[in-house]
Chains A and B, each alone.
Chain A
Amino acid sequence: MHVLLAFVAGSLAAAGFYMMLRRSMVKVILGLALLGHAANLVIFTAGRLTGVHPPLIAPEAERLVEPYADPVPQALILTAIVIGFGVQAFAIVLFKRAHAVTGTDDLDALRATDEP
């Protein structure tokens, strides 16, 4: 399972970077989204996949009984997903506005900051 997820995360990251190297604005946004998924999967995998009990204290027990799944990576991913959602929403609005102002979705045409 770890090996499979490692390959999935690696493929997502590779696809993400490939998309970001393209010249189309839409593909850059897709690339950013894929990179975000790859990062979340890496945290998920790095937090060890135990496939056992959820980290909940049973009604009759006093404390957690081993083995249980580590809740911290899940909390991290949840935070990262929320942040990633907000940032990607902003990126979409920014690229849409840039497309409206410049009239192109070709990133190579964005040279306004290089001209004197």
Chain B
Amino acid sequence: MDALLVAPVLVPLGTAALCLLAWGRPVLQRALSVAGAVGLLGAALALFARVAGGAVAATQVGAWPAPFGISVVADVLAGLMVLLTASMGLAVLVYSLATIDPERERGGFHVLYHVLLMGVCGAFLTGDVFNLYVWFEVLLISSFVLMVLGGERAQLDGGIKYVTLNLVSSMLFLVAAGMLYGVAGTLNLADLSRSLARPEPGSPVPALATLFLLSFGIKAAVFPVFSWLPASYHTPPPPVAALFAGLLTKVGVYALIRVFTLVFAADAGLFRPLILWVAGLTMLAGVLGAAAQTNVRRILSFHIVSQIGYMLMGLGLGSRLALAGAVFYIAHHIVVKTDLFLVGGLIERLSGSGELRHAGGLARARPVLAGSFLLAALALAGIPPLSGFWAKLVLVLAGLELRAFPIVAVSLAVSLLTLYSMTKIWNEAFWKPAPGSEVVPSAVALAPAAYRLALAPIVVLTLASVAIGLAAGPVFALAARAADQLLDPSAYVAAVRAAGGL
């Protein structure tokens, strides 16, 4: 068994266990938690260095041969996703040290945080459909508790919507996985890719693919099943929301990309028009929903929905360039969205509420925060030379190449509306003068040292976003390698075969 491949799961598991043992000792828990996050980043970097060049690493858990044992596989996409997960995990953890309240920390915040990271990494690395279901449940159950930890009314309210919709999605996934086993006799992704390679007339596989599309669609928050996301993502504490915003819906998108390029590749042509429609409507629904909102994190939540549409656009177009664009977009989005949610949390903290009418004057009072927000917001809207511009450029070029003009038009219009929402936050929270005395009391609540600690990950993520924009060439080359592997699963299948004699 290859330790490098399972380390991104084992490190957070060990960290969570140690944090559990340190229950009631917050300082020790914090030290363990940060050490665990650094360790995860190290493991992810080592794995990424191994697969970034285009090699596919695979191993069988417990040395049980595939397809009976569980395969763990890392290709370029999985390696990149694990690296992004570990980076966001560390950045958000540092931010949470400055802003999380002691009650939540005593309630097991660090334990749940690392279980969540373990679930996300496991979902990215697994090569087995049922195991993917299990990782989904691991990340869901820890996200459920993180979402309602603290038990405020809005949290419970949003939590009920989040929990119910995600459980329905899991049931659909479970049914689809069970029926897929009935059809193919295996749940190993590489084995499925082989046995479903040729579409047969009258086969139930397209129906199963639809079930997968719906189930992962709910988790990714696509139109028309996105409403749980803007109803819940503004209720938990900012670091929790930032981690969810950066990572969780992207697990759904990753699962969609994985099954539609590996398992249902033969039937993918059937689904491309549907996915493109869903992508366009997701972009529009998200951005129009955001335009009507006045709460920082609710605006940003609706923009998650809208951005998911761009990733689906890459999958729906399906060409090499389009898939590379989708991968680039995911990398850009995870960094920028996490960053914006962290900024949104500080806006809330500094002005006492997430409502834009209560905020103001932050450009003068907190110039570094304002500068970070500006860069991240412009990157989200796609202003050159920031990261979002290149991601959108690749997708638009791919759309033009395939003469899919409607989706290109929608994506460009939605970019413009994104700029509108970002300008709204900028004008209200940063540019306009502070609305009187109500700003002061809560601004005092965050000590200068805590503020600097919370600002550090924001600045780092903003610089990372700028770096992705300035180094777009190498990042695109990486995304193109990921797209090549997605379009030609032979390397993936060969790696699993070499690892376990498929």
B-contacting residues of A (Cβ < 8 Å)? 20, 25, 28, 32, 35-36, 38-39, 42-48, 72-73, 76, 79-80, 83, 86-87, 90-91, 94-95, 97-98, 101-102, 107, 110-114, 116
Contact in complex: A112, B171 (CB < 8 Å): no
What separation, in Å, do the CA atoms of A35 and B235 have in the docked complex?
27
Contact in complex: A39, B181 (CB < 8 Å): no
Contact in complex: B167, A98 (CB < 8 Å): no
Contact in complex: A102, B156 (CB < 8 Å): yes
Contact in complex: B182, A48 (CB < 8 Å): yes
Of B130, B175, B234, the contact of A113 (CB 8 Å cutoff): B234
Q: Does B55 contact A (CB under 8 A)?
A: no
Chain A residues contacting B183 (CB-CB under 8 Å) are 46
A-contacting residues of B (Cβ < 8 Å)? 130, 133-134, 137, 140-141, 144-145, 148, 151, 153-154, 156-161, 163-164, 167-168, 170-171, 174-175, 177-179, 181-183, 187, 231-232, 234-235, 294-295, 355
Contact in complex: B178, A46 (CB < 8 Å): yes
What separation, in Å, do the CA atoms of A97 and B130 have in the docked complex?
32
| Pairs across A and B, CB under 8 Å, 9 listed | A32-B164, A42-B178, A43-B175, A43-B178, A87-B141, A91-B167, A97-B151, A98-B157, A113-B235
New A-B pairs, 16, CB < 8 Å, besides A32-B164, A47-B181: A25-B160, A38-B171, A39-B171, A42-B178, A83-B134, A87-B137, A87-B170, A91-B167, A94-B163, A95-B160, A97-B148, A97-B156, A101-B156, A113-B161, A113-B231, A113-B235
Chain B residues contacting A79 (CB-CB under 8 Å) are 130, 134
Chain B residues contacting A44 (CB-CB under 8 Å) are 178
What separation, in Å, do the CA atoms of A35 and B154 have in the docked complex?
27
What separation, in Å, do the CA atoms of A48 and B295 have in the docked complex?
52
What separation, in Å, do the CA atoms of A106 and B171 have in the docked complex?
24
Q: Which residue of B lies closest to A25 (CB)?
A: B160
Contact in complex: A116, B182 (CB < 8 Å): no
What separation, in Å, do the CA atoms of A73 and B178 have in the docked complex?
7
Contact in complex: B355, A116 (CB < 8 Å): yes
Contact in complex: A112, B182 (CB < 8 Å): no
Chain A residues contacting B163 (CB-CB under 8 Å) are 90-91, 94
**How far apart are B353's CB and chain A's nearest CB, in angstroms?**
10
Q: Known contacts A94-B148, A94-B160, A98-B157; decide if A39 and B355 are in contact (CB<8 Å).
A: no
Chain B residues contacting A98 (CB-CB under 8 Å) are 156-157, 159-160
**How far apart are A32's CB and chain B's nearest CB, in angstroms?**
6
How many residue pairs link A and B with beta carbons under 8 A? The number is 107
What separation, in Å, do the CA atoms of A79 and B276 have in the docked complex?
35
Q: Known contacts A46-B178, A46-B179, A94-B156; decide if A32 and B167 are in contact (CB<8 Å).
A: yes
Contact in complex: A76, B179 (CB < 8 Å): no
Chain A residues contacting B181 (CB-CB under 8 Å) are 43, 46-47, 72-73, 76
Chain B residues contacting A83 (CB-CB under 8 Å) are 134, 137
**How far apart are B123's CB and chain A's nearest CB, in angstroms?**
14
Chain B residues contacting A28 (CB-CB under 8 Å) are 164
Q: Which residue of B lies closest to A16 (CB)?
A: B171
Contact in complex: A42, B167 (CB < 8 Å): no
Contact in complex: B137, A42 (CB < 8 Å): no
What separation, in Å, do the CA atoms of A116 and B157 have in the docked complex?
14
Q: Known contacts A72-B181, A87-B141; decide if A114 and B231 are in contact (CB<8 Å).
A: yes
Which of the listed residues A90, A101, A113, A116 has the most CB atoms from chain B within 10 Å of its own CB? A113
Contact in complex: B157, A112 (CB < 8 Å): yes
Contact in complex: A39, B178 (CB < 8 Å): yes
**How far apart are B482's CB and chain A's nearest CB, in angstroms?**
30
Contact in complex: B175, A101 (CB < 8 Å): no
Which of the listed residues A25, A73, A80 has the most CB atoms from chain B within 10 Å of its own CB? A80
Chain B residues contacting A107 (CB-CB under 8 Å) are 160
Of A46, A73, A110, the contact of B157 (CB 8 Å cutoff): A110
Contact in complex: B157, A113 (CB < 8 Å): yes
Closest 10 CB pairs of A and B: A46-B182, A43-B178, A98-B156, A112-B157, A39-B174, A113-B158, A112-B154, A35-B171, A110-B157, A113-B231
Chain A residues contacting B158 (CB-CB under 8 Å) are 112-113
What separation, in Å, do the CA atoms of A96 and B449 have in the docked complex?
39
Chain B residues contacting A113 (CB-CB under 8 Å) are 154, 157-158, 161, 231-232, 234-235
Contact in complex: A87, B167 (CB < 8 Å): yes
Chain B residues contacting A48 (CB-CB under 8 Å) are 182
Contact in complex: A76, B153 (CB < 8 Å): no
**How far apart are B89's CB and chain A's nearest CB, in angstroms?**
23
**How far apart are B359's CB and chain A's nearest CB, in angstroms?**
13
Of B140, B145, B178, the contact of A47 (CB 8 Å cutoff): B178
Contact in complex: B164, A101 (CB < 8 Å): no
Which of the listed residues B154, B161, B167, B232 has the most CB atoms from chain A within 10 Å of its own CB? B167
**How far apart are A12's CB and chain B's nearest CB, in angstroms?**
11
What separation, in Å, do the CA atoms of A36 and B240 have in the docked complex?
28
What separation, in Å, do the CA atoms of A39 and B170 have in the docked complex?
10
What separation, in Å, do the CA atoms of A31 and B234 have in the docked complex?
27
